[in-house]
Structure 1
Amino acid sequence: MSSPTRWAGVPLEDRRVERRAILIAAAFDIFGGSGPETELSVRSVCRHCGFNTRYFYESFTDTDELLGAVYDATAAELGAVVEAAMTTAGHSVRARTRAGMLAVLGHASEDPRRGRILFTEGRTNPVLAQRRAATQNMLFELSFAEADALETDPLTGRVRAAVFTGAMAELAQQFLAGSLGDDLERVVDEALATLIPGRR
């Protein structure tokens, strides 16, 4: 268990913030893993980070709340990566869309825990399903912002954003499952040709 001296001299609020972050990281490791130790419980999380259970309840009421925090942190990281990739990709719709696709698939597949939390378990786990809807909305808004800057017809932009968002969710699911092979660049190029054929 955590040593009392571990937090010596650290302000109370800073201790709580640090402990919360450690608990989220532990849950990310456990729930996002693919081995036998993937059952998320108060005991397993506290054992993973060496905490007394009272530190768990200092930040979370139950494991559902903790799992939601894990998803939120993982999705926020993905959003930042996608936004940065699209921002630096240039001005053409094709370049920015391609950069966004590469960022989603690349970031999720670089660490299997991310993909499991965001896409695999996000479809079936009741706690994550609600969060996944919020992530879909985030991707939609990012896509619509791109389309809105390029299209004069708002409906056209919203339709394209909706198609892109739905396609990316399924594309990520299939890529992470291994059914599309492991050539990320080719997968993105094929998807891009389908979504915006001939667009430069």
Structure 2
Amino acid sequence: MPLAARRSERRTRLVEAAFELFGTQGEAGVSVRAVCRAGNLHARYFYESFADTDQLLGAVYDKVAAELAERLPAALDSAGDDLAERTRAGIHTVLDFSSADPRRGRVLFTEARANPVLAARRQATQTALMDAVLQETRIRPAADPRLARVGAAMFTGAMVELAQQWLAGGLGDDLDAVVGHAAALLPTPPTV
């Protein structure tokens, strides 16, 4: 196996080990020693890929966020062109993805608030979501751009809080009911 492939395989093992530790124990469970032990690797291989555990946690966040981002387009496409149905599909996909494997929800929504590296990534993800919401609603060029951004910001912030409440069990266990209530509370944005 070429050196680059071996390095890539070791990096993947470290990210997977950190995902498991972070997803089950939180940030406190992620140390160089614990990750290397879980990945069955020597510490020198950790430093071959990462400067510190924050950089590793950033890679874990990026991996989980990319997995969610891969699922969203198919969910939106299956909903057709109706904006309300697309919104429901998006909400359902985020909540289902985050709760189907609780480690994902912990990485994306709960633990990401405290760690500065993850908080920065979470903020970047929220900004990307806000931009996607603006694109999805197809706001007319003549519409007040500030109004559009305010609406997108409110939706994005509400979505994060909804996910946190869903993951904490505060909304019950009926995903379809939660999605239905959330979608019913959303205003209909102006569209082209």
2:132 matched to 1:142?
A: yes
Shift of 1:124: 1.7
Do the aligned partners of 1:94 and 1:196 also contact (CA within 8 Å) in 2? Answer: no
Q: Aligned residue for 2:163?
A: 172
Shift of 1:154: 5.6
In 1: Cα distance, 2:29 partner to 2:111 partner: 13
2:172 matched to 1:186?
A: no
Shift of 1:125: 2.1
Q: Aligned residue for 1:96?
A: 86
1:84 to 58, 74, 82: 74
Do the aligned partners of 1:32 and 1:38 also contact (CA within 8 Å) in 2? Answer: no
Give the aligned residue type for 2:175.
L
In 1: Cα distance, 2:73 partner to 2:67 partner: 10
Q: Aligned residue for 2:13?
A: 22
Shift of 1:151: 4.0
Taking structure 2 as the reference length, what is the TM-score of the superposition?
0.91
Aligned to 1:119, what secondary structure does the other structure show?
Answer: helix
Q: Aligned residue for 1:158?
A: 149
Once the two structures are superposed, residues 109-150 of structure 1 have per-residue CA deviations (whole angstroms, 9 ceiling, x without a partner) of 000000011100111222211111011112112211101x25
Aligned to 2:170, what secondary structure does the other structure show?
Answer: coil
Change (3 A) 1:143 1:176: same
Aligned to 1:51, what secondary structure does the other structure show?
Answer: coil
Do the aligned partners of 1:151 and 1:157 also contact (CA within 8 Å) in 2? Answer: no
Aligned to 1:33, what secondary structure does the other structure show?
Answer: helix
Give the aligned residue type for 1:136.
Q
Shift of 1:77: 1.2
Aligned length: 188
Structure 1 vs Structure 2 CA RMSD: 2.0
In 1: Cα distance, 2:119 partner to 2:65 partner: 13
Give the aligned residue type for 1:103.
T
Show structure 1 runs of 5+ residues with no match: 1-9
Once the two structures are superposed, residues 3-48 of structure 1 have per-residue CA deviations (whole angstroms, 9 ceiling, x without a partner) of xxxxxxx01111111111111011000011149x961111101110
Give the aligned residue type for 2:155.
F
Show structure 2 runs of 5+ residues with no match: none
2:120 to 113, 117, 130: 130
